[in-house]
Amino acid sequence: MTAFDSAATHPYNPQTGRYNSHRRCFLPSQAHIAVDPTPILTAEEFAVLGAGGDEDLDVQRAELLQGRLSILEAPDLIHGAVVLNFSKALAAYLHKAPDEQGYAAFEIGLIVSRGPDTVRRPPVSVFVGGERFAELDRTTTDTRPALVLEIASTNDRRRMMRDRVESYLNWGVRTVWVVDTAEKTVYGIQQGKPPRTFSGDQSIPGSPVFADFKLPVSALFVMPD
């Protein structure tokens, strides 16, 4: 018996003389069809969407995964503290080392792959070389940062962190720092090398991006007054 033959699923029930409007009707030719209504976007269309002032779209949490829009969970307070502490430490270092060229961009969309396009939005991307501050006014970019800071804070970020890190390394990012806010640990990851783990008062070396930049792990988790 097919769905079309069943009085329980047919829209009209000849036994009762009534329509089964409260039941779903699946024709045999349609029962196996699954249609995803989500449109496939390019990175450029995604950038326009983000710049369009859509009140329903939280641009800072929006990403593009193989052409489909994805929204990250809202970060917590410790997530924001890590970003603030890292940016202050990097700014202080660069101020004392004028020969070092670099700057941080926050939540900029990185076009890590094409066809279909994937745009990741890490908390911090550190750029070196090129025109200084060139990336700050952009919603998305295909310029590779030298260092990406990721934060495993919310459930979705923790769940997808392996894929996120691999996408950066495969794209050509030299160094990725992953901050685990639950374990108060930082993982330093470079392509072709085993990950290094830092915790407590251990300092994370900034090399090879910055020769003398070092940051104690504990300093990342200091909550602002």
Instruction: Encode pLDDT of 122-180 as tens digits.
Output: 999 999 988 888 899 898 999 999 999 999 999 999 999 999 999 999 999 999 999 99
First CA to last CA across the chain, in angstroms?
A: 70
Longest dimension (CA), the chain: 86
Query: pLDDT by residue (tens digit) across 180-221?
Result: 999 999 999 998 899 999 999 999 999 889 989 999 999 999
Query: pLDDT by residue (tens digit) across 63-75?
Result: 999 999 999 999 9
Residue intervals of the chain classified under CATH 3.90.1570.10 are: 73-220
Class of domain 73-220: alpha beta
Cβ–Cβ under 8 Å, residues 111 and 141: yes
- What per-residue string of b and e applies to 188-200 under the rule 16 or more CB within 10 Å gives b? bbeeeeeeeebee
Query: pLDDT by residue (tens digit) across 11-47?
Result: 334 444 443 443 333 333 444 444 456 689 999 999 9
The three-state secondary structure class of 77 is: helix
